[in-house]
Structures are given as structure tokens and as C-alpha cells.
Structure 1
Amino acid sequence: MHIMEGYLPPQWCVFWYIVSAPFIIYGVYILNRQVKENRETLSLLAVSGAFIFLLSSLKLPSPVAGSCSHPTGTGLSTVLFGPIITCVLSLIVLIFQALFMAHGGITTLGANVFSMGIAGPLLGYAVYRLGKAVNLNIFVNIFLVTAVADLFTYVVTAIELAVAVPLQGGFVFSFETFFAIYAITQIPLAILEGVLIALVFKYIIQSRADILVKLGVLTQEQITKIMGSFS
């Protein structure tokens, strides 16, 4: 998904920076407030950022020129802290990867942040809220959030590439071509990532359920019910 340095035309680099900027600015504000009000959540913030970094660093070659395939790791942060804080964590990860790992780039940072840190988590969070509204099993919900956030990241990346470097068939043909290629690797990766994050969430429930209650992710009644099902 990381679009490499220098691949997008300058006008599109600027455009995605402008689109991403309001989310980042608001995200920094929300993150600062979160840290001040709930210092005990710092450990989970660190774990969430680490998962984004680790999973999105697993770069796989992609036939799509100027890009690559990999999990995104944003599902855990999206559920624990919401999509706005997730976009800030993603920004930090993407800057580090661009500067020290030659993964992505500074000129394409706005586009990469928008697809992985904003669009994917936003749709994933919408799925999460819908799942809660219909009382979907929490682990199934976590799986769906993670898989949807992963796949939608690549839908948006395919759009970004289709509008900036279209193939001869035009935008629709370009989008279909780019995403069809991504789907070969991303569908199995999204499934595996969903299973992994669901297992991590189970561990968090078992070890730090109190923080989940403070964050409003689960109620104490729900925690008790889930813990009972483990017995």
C-alpha cells in the first residue's frame, strides 16, 4: 500500500497532504487529551502503535508499480482509541518508515496517511459501531473491523493511483486493475490480520480489562460475561 517516494505527481502529493491535514491536527488534540486524562492508557497506545509499525513493515512485493502489499495493523487502535487517534499513530509510523526504512516516502506521505491511517480506520470504526449496535460477538466484530480497515485501505490506494497515474483505459479501468491485483494478496492478509488482532484483544481482556472499561470499549458486565465464556 505504501506508495513510494516520487511516484505521485506533485499536485496529487499536495492534494493528499491538504486532505489529511485536518484529521491529523484534530487527532493530535484528541491524543493529547487522552494522554492527560488517562495516563494508564499509555501502555495500550504504545502497543497499538507497535502493531501498526510491525504489521505495516511486512512489505510484500506487488505487481502494482510504485506500491506494495502488507497488513496495516490499524484495527486494534481503531477499536481501542477510535479512528482519529489511529491516524496520528499511523502518521508517526509512516514518517519513521519513510525516513529510516525506505518504505513509502515523504512526498507521498499525505496519500499513504489518508489510505492507511484515515480511510481504513474510519470505515473500520463504522463497522465496529454497527457491530456493537446489533450485539455482534466482540471477537467477530474485532475480526471484521480489522479486515475491513485493511481491505478499504487498498481500495483507497487503488483510487489514489488510478486518479494520479491512470492506465490507458481511464479511471474505472485503472481502479479495477489496481485493486484486482491488490486483492490477490490482501484478501488472505486481511483474514489473517483479523484473526491475529482478535487474539490480541482476547489477551488484553484477560490482562487489562480495567483499561477497556475506562476507555468505554466494554462495560464491566460485558467483561464478566466474556471472562465467564473462557472458563
Structure 2
Amino acid sequence: MKDYIKRHIPMTSLVLGTIGLLYGALYPTTAHAMHIMEGMLPPVWCIFWFAVSAPFFIYGLYRMRKIVDSTQQNAKIMLALCGAFVFVLSSLKMPSVTGSCSHPTGVGLGTVMFGPGVMSVLGVIVLLFQALLLAHGGLTTLGANCFSMTIVGPFVGFGVWKLCRAFKVNRSVSLFLCAMLADWSTYVTTSFQLAIVFPDPSSGVVGAAIKFLGIYAITQIPLAIAEGFLTVIVYNLVISNNLWKETALQ
């Protein structure tokens, strides 16, 4: 069983990634998505989010270099698996309300396996592919999307994971909470990013944030729960077949 999974996980990742790419190309959606679309942010805010995200990206490169150079068994394969997981899940755009859409993020798996730092690099790669090939997100909004999905999400998820494990919470429950709250924190961050730029005329930034949160919540809450269960299934398969150690390279 172990040899079978070793042989087939890279191929499965490639197949899933291809399916996600074809799905997005064949069924594009023009919408105010959880990824902030091209042109929605003024230049000053685009520059601001790039500047805020840059230190995390540099740290992520350092972490990725350590992973690639490590002697940990299956490190590169698991890194590719985590990247494919983020790409496929975050490409599944689900129609929401008022012309918006929601999607899972997939960052919980890589966060638990490698720590939150490396997710900023994997996230930039994924977001670039989606912006260029799937019309999902944008290049000028790359910094903002990276900050919400691959910085805030993973760091929140990692904090939840470590806290749960410190209190001896069951591994599957800890992972479920990590993935679910990483997803929710992403959509909360995106809502505030949009609210700052588009404040409500009467209730200001807070009122606008509440409206954006309400728009996403209808689909994002159940999606995050489903993502949590899927992340648990994938992670437990990897661990139970001795393809990865729980504390390796975090």
C-alpha cells in the first residue's frame, strides 16, 4: 500500500491540478470573488498589500529552500501535493449572492505539514496561475489576495493547530479546526480589505465589512466545514501510510 501511494500521489496531484485548470478554463466566472478581482483596488492599496506581503514571501522562500534541501523522506512530493491541493480547492468557485462567488482555500494541509511560512510562496504560484489562466483574481491585487489567503489564513490555522495539540485535542479535530478557521479568517480579511476601499456611505468601514461578510457567509461557512473534513481525510491518509511524520519540517 505504501509503495502504491508513493507511486501514485504525484500522478494524482497532476491529474487533480489538470482537472481544476480545465474546469476554470471551460467555465469561467466573472464575479466579485473571494479573490479580489483585477481593478477593484486603487493603486495605493495594491502597493500597500504588496509591501505588507513581501516579508512573508521572503521568509517563505527561506522555508521552502530548507524543505527542498532537507533529507526528510518525501519532502518534495508532499510539497507538490500541498501546492496541488491549494490550487484545486481554491479554483472551485461556487456562486454566492449579489454576483459574488466563494471557494475553499486548501491552505490547512500545507500549514500543518510545513508550517505557515511556505504557504505564502505556494500561494503566490497558485494565485499567479489563477489570475493568468483562469481569470480568477488579478495581478495588481496579487498582494492583497496573497495576504488574506496565504498569510493570514495559514498563520491563524497554525496557531489553532498548535493550541489544540498543546491541549491534547484529537489530531483529526485539531486539523479540522485548523483548516476551517484558516478558511474563515481568509474571507474575514478579504471583507475588511474591500470595506476599507469601499466604505458604506452611512455606516463606514464597519458597515461595509458586515455587508461583505454577509455576502460571503451564505456559501463560505459550509464550504469551510467541507474543506475541514476533506483536509482531515487527506492528511490522515498521508500519515497512516507513513509518508510523512506529524512534526517533520514545521
TM-score normalised by structure 2 residue count: 0.82
Q: 2:30 matched to 1:7?
A: no
Distance 1:213 1:178 in 2: 37
Question: Which of the two has greater helix per residue?
Answer: 1
Contact 2:67 2:76 in 1 (8 A): no
Contact 2:113 2:248 in 1 (8 A): yes
Distance 2:63 2:137 in 1: 26
Distance 1:4 1:187 in 2: 21
Distance 1:101 1:6 in 2: 16
Deviation at 1:56, TM superposition (A): 0.1
Superposed structure 1 runs of 4+ greater than 4 Å apart? none
Distance 1:124 1:213 in 2: 16
Contact 2:183 2:224 in 1 (8 A): yes
Among 192, 196, 203, the residue aligned to 2:237: 203
- Structure-2 change in CA distance of 1:213 and 1:150 (3 Å): closer
Contact 1:166 1:174 in 2 (8 A): yes
- Structure-2 change in CA distance of 1:41 and 1:108 (3 Å): same
The superposition leaves residues 99-118 of structure 1 with CA deviations (integer Å, 9 ceiling, x where unpaired) of 11111000000000000000
- Give the residue type in structure 2 aligned to 1:92: I
Alignment of 1:1-231 (within 5 A): 1-38=34-71, 40-63=74-97, 68-168=101-201, 169-209=203-243, 211-212=244-245, 215=248
Deviation at 1:64, TM superposition (A): 5.9
Deviation at 1:8, TM superposition (A): 0.7
- Structure-2 change in CA distance of 1:125 and 1:103 (3 Å): same
| Percent identity of paired positions between Structure 1 and Structure 2 | 52
Unpaired runs of 5+ in structure 1? 218-231
More deviation in 117-126 or 30-39? 30-39
Distance 1:118 1:139 in 2: 23
The superposition leaves residues 140-159 of structure 1 with CA deviations (integer Å, 9 ceiling, x where unpaired) of 00000000000000000001
Unpaired runs of 5+ in structure 2? 1-33
Distance 1:192 1:214 in 2: 25
Deviation at 1:214, TM superposition (A): 6.5
Coordinate RMSD, CA, aligned: 1.5
Distance 2:98 2:84 in 1: 27
